[in-house]
């Protein structure tokens, strides 16, 4: 017998793992309630979890200190723009950048109207709330020179949950112009979503600064990243129970194996699985397991690495004044730039999508093992009933279809290029498309893991599995997914498994 508890794990690490690594990272908070209030204050960064909380319905407030800072920046920007040409204020935009604006009285609202060319299905309200929260955080950095009245208007839209109708198509990773213009029209009372308490007047000082942001792309990526972290943590429990049921060789989880991998987070993943299996022991069924077991710490370590880098970039963008142009109040200058070109974000999104594809491929391999009598000692596809029963045969097909969608979404969006506005913009980062692909990949990853979870529920029912103490409560919930195992319509159990994945990592675990 090879006791897993004898694999080296320091007491402090074991306790942390047994609590399922409940870190206070930026995106691991549980679902918030309307009682939550997020405060935007001067020099206090907004976290990724704050955006998730606001998207899920929390209230917001902006301190007087922020409003004063934004007002001071607006006054300074007016003075600077009166002495120095400023793109979008004294000129047109895009290919019209060399054209002077001779009548600024309605230039701002015309910019908002002309740029509101979003298309496609409306975005979910939760996504629009993430967009508004992100834009509010950026404007609170006081670099745009925008009218401070815009910030209370955004707060009001969130508090009344009166979000804009915004089409999903219109951005290419060089500022979400169409989406923000649609939001701007809503704030002005010109697009349906309820009437604002006080319609915004879009002056020349505010229109372009408001549009000059990738807030939608950032917000969408924040929500998708948070969901992916929940699925990754839930997947740990699924993998641990599969390992116990099929008597995997635990050596692939050791510190020695992690050292040989020489890659970030591999040791962390191995330690976490060891903690989940703490106290259990069995004779390994194989001297060397298939890749599904052996490379799990490596694929999940790569996924964590990509998520870490993605979240770090999202956090930077969330708290940056990226508007073009940006006004330096202290120096009294205006800077024109291309910081809205989201090259780094696009690359980080692509990397995360590729990491999901690797992880999902491994999950599908484990699913196939659970259906194979040579590994389970049970009927093919864990079927019960008459000879020839199909059991979980179709789970492989469903998971394979989801895997195909993940691989399609992993095609690097950053490889795209385009020329726009009479050659003024001769490229695009396509970070927006990377964020959309991340949403698709995460949704399909949930399906792959749900298929594996259904298979684990049958393994637990059909095998005399020694469930490790830290997983007893989780295993009970998993067993309940399929109280009957004859051939059946699996749509209901699959949906229940998909829902369970969101909270599986929150199960009370025994230290």
The predicted-structure confidence for 423-465, as pLDDT tens digits, reads as follows 777 778 999 999 999 999 999 999 999 999 999 999 999 998 8
Antiparallel, parallel or unpaired: β 37-40 and 59-62: parallel
* Burial of 316 (C-beta count, 10 Å sphere; 0-12/13-18/19+): middle
Res 371: pLDDT: 96
82's CB contacts (< 8 A; 6+ apart) are none
- The structure tokens 């490889």 sit at 415
Task: Output the six-digit token pair for 95.
Answer: 């290919």
Res 6: pLDDT: 36
- How far is 440 from 438, CA to CA, in rounded Å? 5
CB 171 within 8 A of CB 211: no
- The structure tokens 């959309």 sit at 436
Instruction: Please state the length of the chain.
Output: 511
CB 478 within 8 A of CB 500: yes
CB 297 within 8 A of CB 358: no
Q: pLDDT tens, 153-203?
A: 999 999 988 788 999 999 988 899 999 999 999 999 998 766 666 889 999
Greatest Cα pair distance, the chain, in angstroms, is: 86
- How far is 212 from 340, CA to CA, in rounded Å? 7
- How far is 185 from 172, CA to CA, in rounded Å? 21
Query: Which one, of 8, 9, 45, lies nearest residue 26 by Cα?
Result: 45
Res 236: pLDDT: 96
- How far is 51 from 318, CA to CA, in rounded Å? 9
Give the H or E element holding residue 170: none
64's CB contacts (< 8 A; 6+ apart) are none
Res 292: pLDDT: 95
Phi, psi of 207 (to 5 degrees): -60, -60
- How far is 285 from 90, CA to CA, in rounded Å? 74
Task: Output the six-digit token pair for 43.
Answer: 């020099």
3-state secondary structure of 355: helix
- How far is 419 from 416, CA to CA, in rounded Å? 11
CB 131 within 8 A of CB 221: no
* Burial of 283 (C-beta count, 10 Å sphere; 0-12/13-18/19+): exposed
Phi, psi of 60 (to 5 degrees): -135, 155
Domains and CATH numbers, the chain: 37-213 (1.10.275.10), 230-328+339-506 (1.20.200.10)
Q: pLDDT tens, 124-135?
A: 999 999 999 999
Phi, psi of 175 (to 5 degrees): 90, 140
Task: Output the six-digit token pair for 19.
Answer: 């609590």
Task: Output the six-digit token pair for 123.
Answer: 């975005």
Query: Which one, of 398, 17, 438, lies nearest residue 233 by Cα?
Result: 17
3-state secondary structure of 326: strand
C-alpha to C-alpha distances, 366 to 156, 449, 451, nearest whole angstrom: 49, 10, 10
Stretches in the chain below the pLDDT threshold 70 = 1-35, 88, 90, 92, 95-96, 98, 100, 102, 193-197, 507-511
CB 115 within 8 A of CB 297: no
CB 40 within 8 A of CB 137: yes
Q: pLDDT tens, 54-79?
A: 999 999 999 999 999 999 999 998 88
296: left (phi over 0), alpha (psi -120 to 50) or beta: alpha
C-alpha to C-alpha distances, 65 to 72, 118, 276, 502, nearest whole angstrom: 11, 34, 47, 38
Half-sphere exposure of 392 (CA within 13 A, CB side): 30
Query: Which one, of 137, 183, 180, 148, lies nearest residue 162 by Cα?
Result: 183
């Amino acid at each position: 017998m090879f006791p897993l508890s004898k694999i080296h794990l320091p007491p402090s690490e074991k306790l942390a793992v047994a609590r399922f690594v409940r870190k206070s990272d930026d995106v691991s908070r549980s679902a918030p309630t309307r009682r939550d209030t997020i405060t935007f204050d001067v020099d206090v960064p907004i976290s990724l979890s704050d955006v998730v909380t606001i998207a899920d319905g929390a209230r917001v407030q902006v301190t007087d200190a922020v409003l004063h800072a934004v007002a001071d920046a607006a006054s300074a920007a007016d003075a600077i723009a009166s002495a120095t040409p400023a793109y979008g204020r004294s000129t047109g935009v895009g290919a019209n950048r060399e054209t002077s604006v001779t009548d600024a009285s309605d230039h701002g609202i015309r910019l908002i109207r002309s740029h509101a060319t979003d298309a496609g299905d409306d975005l979910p309200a939760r996504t629009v709330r993430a967009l508004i929260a992100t834009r509010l955080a950026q404007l609170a950095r006081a670099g745009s020179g925008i009218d401070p009245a815009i910030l209370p208007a955004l707060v009001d839209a969130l508090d009344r949950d009166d979000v804009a109708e915004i089409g999903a198509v219109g951005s290419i990773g060089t500022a979400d112009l169409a989406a923000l213009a649609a939001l701007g029209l809503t704030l002005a009372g010109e697009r349906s979503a309820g009437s604002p308490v006080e319609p915004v007047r879009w002056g020349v000082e505010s229109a372009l600064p408001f549009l000059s942001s990738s807030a939608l792309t950032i917000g969408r990526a924040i929500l998708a990243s948070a969901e992916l972290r929940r699925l990754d943590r839930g997947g740990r429990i699924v993998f641990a129970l599969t390992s116990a049921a099929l008597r995997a060789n635990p050596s692939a989880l050791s510190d020695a194996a992690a050292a040989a991998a020489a890659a970030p987070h591999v040791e962390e993943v191995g330690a976490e699985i060891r903690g989940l299996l703490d106290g259990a022991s069995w004779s390994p069924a194989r001297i060397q397991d298939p890749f599904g077991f052996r490379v799990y710490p490596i694929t999940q370590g790569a996924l964590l690495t990509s998520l870490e880098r993605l979240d770090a970039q999202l956090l930077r963008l969330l708290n940056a004044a990226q508007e073009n142009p940006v006004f330096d109040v202290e120096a009294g200058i205006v800077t024109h730039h291309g910081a809205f070109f989201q090259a780094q974000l696009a690359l980080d999104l692509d990397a995360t999508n590729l990491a999901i594809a690797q992880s999902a491929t491994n999950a599908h391999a484990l699913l196939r093992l659970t259906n194979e009598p040579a590994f389970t000692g049970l009927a093919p596809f864990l079927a019960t009933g008459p000879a020839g029963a199909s059991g979980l045969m179709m789970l492989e097909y469903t998971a394979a279809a989801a895997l195909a969608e993940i691989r399609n979404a992993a095609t690097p969006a950053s490889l795209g290029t385009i020329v726009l506005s009479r050659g003024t913009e001769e490229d695009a980062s396509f970070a927006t498309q990377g964020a959309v692909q991340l949403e698709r990949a995460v949704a399909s990853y949930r399906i792959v893991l749900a298929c594996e979870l259904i298979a684990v529920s049958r393994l637990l029912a059909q095998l005399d599995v020694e469930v490790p103490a830290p997983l007893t409560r989780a295993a009970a919930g998993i067993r309940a997914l399929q109280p009957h195992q004859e051939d059946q319509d699996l749509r209901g159990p699959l949906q229940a498994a998909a829902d369970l994945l969101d909270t599986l990592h929150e199960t009370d675990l025994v230290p």
